[in-house]
Structure formats: structure tokens, C-alpha cells
């Protein structure tokens, strides 16, 4: 009886979620209304079978995707939303970067010394508390981004900026790598004048390096409200390592090729200057 009550409560909370799709809502409501002690296993088996085709294609809305993992006996790691807080205002700061899909922006920062927490989310748009589906449409103005809380005693904002420029294609304002769309454009969001000055200096350094033939299009904008993404998207590299590694490989191959072209371009420029 307790198991049914817990499950009905879980289903009820999902039904209250405004961001799940109508057909998901229909399946969940049908299951909730049909549950009893005698048909529990039958109803759960039926629900799992109905959700499976979309789950295998990674096409469930995030919270339903988490529920499906629980339904199939997989442990769901919950996000850092509740612990993603500045606890020492004197020595802790925030940095917010957008650089394509946020799945690939977490690990490079989170694994560095001095990083306290990294949260995936959405910012820069026109509606409050957007869902992944809404942002993915490209119509809300939001970008996928990461908010980083870091310890200034161990790592500086300058060091985070230096890492950021290594992770993106700064010449592409229509997306990043295989991720296309307005929601994937690269932006540095700054929270104060000091961050803005440092960001502008690093951008100018990239321009002056001569490594890129195309213009540097990465924006620098004032930080707006940062909306945390659904639990499914948090620490994605830990939850789905195989899928993450495949996506990461594509980015790394492109960046390696771009860096090689940049080096060749720099060498060519030096040779031309010698013969002037």
C-alpha cells in the first residue's frame, strides 16, 4: 500500500509539471488512475513499454526521463540545485558562460581545482522559468549556459576565461559545433565591471592573436536571471558517460583542427612579415 501511495504521489507531482508534453501527461494520468494493489506490476510494465520508444531515442521531457530511469531500476542522480549556493561571499564568485550545448560545458570547469559547483541552465531570454523544450525551439531568446561558483583563493576569473576560449568556436554565432541554433550561440555573461573588463581584454587578445581568419563573434553581455535546467541535464557527463564522450569527441576533433589551422596561419603571417 505504501509503495502505491509513493508512486501516486510521484505521478501526481509529474502531472503538476507544466513542461511535460500532453501525451506524456495522458499516459501518466491513465496509470495513476488505474493503480491498485493487484495490478501494480502490470500497470508499471505497461507504462514502461509505452514510454520506452521515446526513452530509447532520448525524446522524453527531462523530468519524465528521470522518472523512466527510476521505473527501469536505474539510480537517478539528483542535481546540485539545492547546494549550488555562495556560502562565502568574500572568497566566492559566480561566472556564467554560454558555449553551445551545456552538457559539454560542465566537465571542463567542474573538474578544475577551486570550482565549488557548476549548474546547467538557461539565461538571456524573455520568459520566466523556461523548459528545455521552450529553449530548444529557439524562440525564447535564451541560451544554454553554465553558472560556475568558484573559490577565488584557488582559481581566478581570468583563468576561467582562458579555459572558456579553449572550449568554443568564437567565430560561430549561429551555434557551436554540431549544435545549431540561436540557443547555442557563445556568450560571456558578466556580473560586474571587473568581469566585463577582463572579458573584453581576453576577447581582444583572441582577436589580436591572428589565429582566426573569420571575425570573433562571441558576445559579452550583462548577466540576467539564470534559470536552472531540469535535473536530467545536470552533470550529464556523469549520468550518461558514453553519450557524453561521443559528443565531446566531435567537439575536440573540430577544436584540434581549428587550433592547427590557427598555428599554420600564425606561422604564415610571421613568414610574410619577414619578407616585407
> Which three three-digit cell numbers place residue 189?
555573461
Distance CA 151, CA 157 (A): 10
CA distance 13 to 180: 33
Beta bridge partners of 99: none
Whole-angstrom distance, CA of residue 100 vs CA of residue 234: 15
Answer whether 146's CB lies under 8 Å from 97's CB. Answer: yes
Give the C-alpha separation, 77 to 94, whole Å. 24
Are 101 and 144 contacting, i.e. CB atoms less than 8 angstroms apart? yes
Active site residues: 101
End-to-end Cα, the chain, rounded Å = 86
Amino acid at each position: 500500500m505504501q509503495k502505491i501511495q509513493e508512486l501516486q504521489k510521484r505521478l501526481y507531482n509529474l502531472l503538476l509539471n507544466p513542461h511535460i508534453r500532453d501525451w506524456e501527461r495522458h499516459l501518466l494520468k491513465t496509470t495513476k488512475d488505474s493503480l491498485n494493489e493487484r495490478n501494480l506490476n502490470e500497470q508499471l510494465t505497461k507504462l514502461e513499454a509505452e514510454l520506452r520508444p521515446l526513452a530509447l531515442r532520448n525524446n522524453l521531457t527531462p523530468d519524465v526521463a528521470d522518472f523512466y530511469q527510476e521505473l527501469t531500476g536505474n539510480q537517478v542522480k539528483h542535481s546540485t540545485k539545492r547546494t549550488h549556493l555562495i556560502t562565502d561571499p568574500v572568497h566566492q564568485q559566480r561566472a556564467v558562460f554560454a558555449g553551445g550545448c551545456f552538457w559539454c560545458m560542465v566537465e571542463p570547469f567542474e573538474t578544475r581545482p577551486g570550482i565549488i559547483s557548476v549548474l546547467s541552465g538557461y539565461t538571456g531570454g524573455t520568459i520566466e522559468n523556461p523548459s528545455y523544450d521552450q529553449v530548444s525551439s529557439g524562440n525564447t531568446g535564451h541560451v544554454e549556459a553554465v553558472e560556475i561558483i568558484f573559490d577565488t583563493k584557488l582559481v581566478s576569473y581570468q583563468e576561467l576565461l582562458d579555459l572558456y576560449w579553449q572550449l568554443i568556436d568564437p567565430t560561430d554565432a549561429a551555434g557551436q559545433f554540431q549544435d545549431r541554433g540561436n540557443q547555442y550561440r557563445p556568450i560571456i555573461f558578466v556580473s560586474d565591471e571587473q568581469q566585463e573588463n577582463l572579458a573584453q581584454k581576453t576577447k581582444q587578445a583572441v582577436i589580436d592573436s591572428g589565429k582566426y581568419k573569420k571575425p570573433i563573434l562571441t558576445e559579452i553581455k550583462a548577466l540576467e536571471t539564470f534559470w536552472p535546467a531540469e535535473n536530467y541535464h545536470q552533470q550529464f557527463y556523469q549520468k550518461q558517460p558514453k553519450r557524453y564522450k561521443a559528443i565531446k569527441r566531435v567537439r575536440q576533433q573540430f577544436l584540434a583542427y581549428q587550433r592547427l589551422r590557427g598555428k599554420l596561419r600564425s606561422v604564415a603571417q610571421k613568414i610574410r612579415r619577414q619578407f616585407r
